[in-house]
Amino acid sequence: MTRKLFIKTYGCQMNVYDSERMAEALGAQGYVTTERAEEADMILLNTCHIREKAAEKVYSELGRLKPLKAANPELRIGIAGCVAQAEGEEIMRRAPVVDLVVGPQTYHRLPAMEAAMRAGARPVDTDFPEEDKFEHLPKSRASGPRARRGPTAFLTVQEGCDKFCAFCVVPYTRGAEVSRPATRLLAEARDLVKRGVREITLLGQNVNAYHGEGPDGAEWSLARLIRALAEIDGLERIRYTTSHPNDMGDDLIAAHGQVAKLMPYLHLPVQSGSDRVLKAMNRKHTAEQYLRQIEKLRAARPDLLLSGDFIVGFPGETEADFEATLDLVRAVGYGQAYSFKYSARPGTPAAERAPVPAAVADDRLQLLQALLAEQQRAAQEAMVGREVGVLFEKPGRMEGQMVGKSDHLHAVHVVAEGLQPGDLRRVRITASASHSLAGALI
> Residue 365, interface with ligand 5AD (CB under 6 A)?
no
Of 68-76, 145-153, 337-345, 395-403: span binding ligand 5AD (CB under 6 A):
337-345
Is the torsion defined by CA of 283, 288, 290, 296 positive or negative?
A: negative
d(CA 414, CA 79): 40
* Cα 59 off chain centre by: 24
- The contact mask relative to ligand SF4 for 167-196 (x = CB under 6 A, - = no) is -x-xx-------------------------
> Residue 244, interface with ligand SF4 (CB under 6 A)?
yes
| Cβ 78 vs Cβ 23: under 8 Å | no
163 binds, among ligand 5AD, ligand SF4, none (CB under 5 to 8 A by kind): ligand SF4
> Residue 247, interface with ligand 5AD (CB under 6 A)?
no
What are phi and psi for residue 158, nearest 5 degrees?
-155, 150
| DSSP track, 77-136 | EEEEHHHHHHHTHHHHHH-TT--EEE-TT-GGGHHHHHHHHHTT---EE----SS-TTTT
Start-to-end CA distance of the chain, whole Å, equals 51
Write the DSSP symbol of residue 346: T
> Residue 345, interface with ligand 5AD (CB under 6 A)?
yes
- Amino acid 247 reads D
Q: Which is nearer to ligand 5AD, 164 or 377 (CB)?
A: 164
> Residue 311, interface with ligand 5AD (CB under 6 A)?
yes
d(CA 13, CA 264): 19
343 binds, among ligand 5AD, ligand SF4, none (CB under 5 to 8 A by kind): ligand 5AD
- The contact mask relative to ligand 5AD for 47-86 (x = CB under 6 A, - = no) is ---xx-----------------------------------
Of 20-28, 77-85, 335-343, 426-434: span binding ligand 5AD (CB under 6 A):
335-343
Residue ranges binding ligand 5AD (CB under 6 A): 50-51, 167-168, 269, 271, 309, 311, 340, 342-343, 345
Binding site for ligand SF4 (CB under 6 A): 161, 163-165, 168, 170-171, 205-206, 244
